[in-house]
Structure 1
Amino acid sequence: MDDRNDYRLGRHVFSAMHVHLVFVTKYRHGVFTDEMLTRCEEIMRKVCEDFEAELKEFNGERDHVHLLINYPPKVAVSKLVNSLKGVSARRIRREFTGHIHPAVTHGHLWSPSYFSASCGGAPLTIIRQYIEQQKRPLQDTRQSSLETHSSPA
């Protein structure tokens, strides 16, 4: 992955925001086949495009999927997740009728919960250190003494 391509330039912002998401199937039932995961990736890639985000990586197993998404600052991760899970669930259940037994998942593909972690950039310890080392201006004692000794006009 070329890190230079992960920066976004907007009208008033230069950003590099990435999120690692994990969605698990309802009750962790193993329902996915390779074909279903391939279709799920296509669906999720399209949803990301609708949010002006980019699905950088996708993979999964029989009972869960992992996504790495580069998204713009105007996108709320919770809204992106809601669309990713909602659209993919509807389309996967419709296109793969018979592969997912509704009684097993009680009519739902995804568990209502999900894992989300921001990622990329420097580790938090490095960022904290960088912020601590900023050269904060010293209080100008002349200026503050002038303010305390000046009389109102």
Structure 2
Amino acid sequence: MAINTVANVVARLCFSSSLFFSEELNTFLIILVTFVGISEAARMGRHIRMSAFSDMLGPVASKVLMIIVTLGTALLLFILAYYSIDYVAGLVKTNRLTPSLRIPMYLTVLIVPFGLTVTGIQFVLAALTNILKPGVHLSYRVEDTYEDNLDTHL
């Protein structure tokens, strides 16, 4: 993506002409990075979360809340994956092509249902880990820990 963007800037500055496919290619790459990245973030426990409320709870309540949140998130992701499959199927039927590169539009968003489904699976695994193992887990690989670093800053 960076190479494509730099090449487009150089082409614009040096030749007064942009690469005709640059913006379209970057759009495809952003979709790819986003929907592969959310799965990796969920696997590594690096997703966005609001922990102020759960930090106030005791260990048992915090664990129950984490199970509810992970299962709810997984359910939402599976619903979104279902609708994204429906969207991709609609694109296949219309046979739309991208404006610059003239490739089928459905190929550009095919990663969306895959990424949502794999991320949903990651959250189901996190819920199972919380059910089966002691401690509160952000993912099947990462346990939630709280480190008090106040003493190191004084």
Task: Tell me which protein shows more helix as a share of its residues.
Answer: 2
TM-score (norm 1): 0.28
TM-score (norm 2): 0.28
Task: Tell me which protein shows more strand as a share of its residues.
Answer: 1
